[in-house]
Amino acid sequence: MPVEMGIWRIDGDTPKRLSAATLPSEEMLEQYLENDPSLLGERLLVIGRQVRTPHGKIIDLLTMDIEGNINVLELKRDKTPRDVVAQVLDYGSWVRTLDRDTIIDLANGHLDDPFESAFEEVFGISAPDELNAALRMTIVATDLDAGSERIVTYLRDFGVPVNAVFFSYLQDGDRHYLARSWLAREDEGETGGVSYGKSKKGKRAEWNGRDWFISFGAYTGGRQWEDGRKYGFVSAGGDAWYSRTLRNVPVGARVNVCIPQQGYVAVGETLGPAERFDAAQVTVDGVDSALADQQLAGWYRHGEGGIAESDDEAEWVLPVRWIVAKPQSDAFWDKGMFANQNSACKLRQEFTLERLAQHFGLDEKDFT
């Protein structure tokens, strides 16, 4: 039988059922899901809305879960049960063929931030090396008819990873509510194939305990990569948010330096802990000297008059012995490489490490 959702408000001893209201449009429901896909019951990254396929069709919403698996969301609108099911299966047949690079290209064409940064922002971890290991297809409806329910249930019995979610729009005076109900429970398995809600885990490498990602935020009138390359350092500061992660990088770490929107420019090993710019030392012609006394192209002082009032405001400098360090004009970037908004974080993505080793011609003998 069709899914029905009811909600009652308790006034004393008398339950009062909330009145069903009419959602102004299913486009509004699509907007709600784009703004907050957790309405479906889990954190999801919205890769794109109104995603065009090579066949001239348009997917309402394309999302990704924490394991890197794709979920195709298609609103029923006024389509017949046969049409909506055929459409979501058509989209799914295309999406399941997409490789990692194609998915990242697709995401970067719709997202405001690079895919890797957007994934990290939603889930708090880097994207797995393997994307699209499993597919899910979801029909989204404000009313679910018996025909749609019957077809979806039949397909699930044969292991097709499709489900339907039903949203009721309810009214209580001036307040409006959305209530959600799934056609099939997420822990309900099928006779074969991939069980909905039990998505296959994408491959995620364990951290090797050594590699770190460093974002060197070079900018006009401030931090300059030519200084870091020449004098052997990376730096961050101006606020605790920028410097705190850099200050956590240990001595002996291998750092992989990336200039935002440009690419990777260097790989090296840290020689000591991070220090404030006004206390940092560098080696020039075999002699330890204050970094602040060098002829620098950039500016590394924060605060009024260039005097930082606190450690959080100051620029922090991490000394590095470069294994390879290229000018900014030779920055290297390949589709799918790791990027992050933090100044420093652990780099566990094998894809990026392999590309860097290959591009820069590195092997373990380069590291002491």
> What are the tens digits of pLDDT across the range 40-61?
888 999 999 999 999 889 999 9
Residue 164 CA to residue 76 CA, distance in Å, equals 10
What pLDDT, on a 0 to 100 scale, did the predictor assign at position 193? 35
What pLDDT, on a 0 to 100 scale, did the predictor assign at position 186? 57
Per-residue pLDDT reduced to its tens digit, 251-260: 999 999 999 9
Give pTM, 2 decimals. Answer: 0.61
> Could you count the other beta carbons within 10 Å of the beta carbon of residue 68?
25
Residue 48 CA to residue 283 CA, distance in Å, equals 49
What pLDDT, on a 0 to 100 scale, did the predictor assign at position 308? 67
What pLDDT, on a 0 to 100 scale, did the predictor assign at position 3? 55
DSSP-assigned beta bridge partners for residue 211: 254
What domains can you pick out in the chain, each with its CATH number?
A: 8-182 (3.40.1350.10), 211-366 (3.10.590)
Q: Which residues of the chain have pLDDT under 50?
A: 1-2, 189-198
Residue type, 335: K
Residue 228 CA to residue 248 CA, distance in Å, equals 19
DSSP-assigned beta bridge partners for residue 236: 316
As to burial, measured by CB atoms within 10 angstroms (0-12 exposed, 13-18 middle, 19+ buried), residue 187 is exposed
What pLDDT, on a 0 to 100 scale, did the predictor assign at position 170? 82
What pLDDT, on a 0 to 100 scale, did the predictor assign at position 178? 82
Mapping DSSP onto H, E and C, the string for the chain reads: CCCCCCCEEEECCEEEECEECCCCCHHHHHHHHHHCHHHHCCCCEEEEEEEECCCCCEEEEEEECCCCCEEEEEECCCCCHHHHHHHHHHHHHHHCCCCHHHHHHHHHCCCCCCHHHHHHHHHCCCCCCCCCCCEEEEEEECCCCHHHHHHHHHHHHCCCCEEEEEEEEEEECCEEEEEEEECCCCCCCCCCCCCCCCCCCCCCCCCCCCEEEEECCCCCCCCCHHHHHHHCEEEEECCHHHHCCHHHCCCCCEEEEEECCCEEEEEEEECCCCEEHHHCEEEECCEEEEHHHCCCCCCCCCCHHHCCCCCCCCEEEEEEEEEEECCHHHCECCCCCCCCCCCEEECCCHHHHHHHHHHHCCCHHHCC
Per-residue pLDDT reduced to its tens digit, 176-214: 888 888 888 655 544 333 333 445 555 566 788 999 999
What pLDDT, on a 0 to 100 scale, did the predictor assign at position 354? 92
Rg of the chain in Å (alpha carbons): 26
What pLDDT, on a 0 to 100 scale, did the predictor assign at position 196? 37
Query: Which position has the token pair 């907007």?
Result: 31
Per-residue buried b or exposed e for 139-164, using 16+ beta carbons within 10 Å of the residue's own CB: bbbbebeeebbebbeebbeeebbbbb
Query: Which position has the token pair 């195709």?
Result: 72
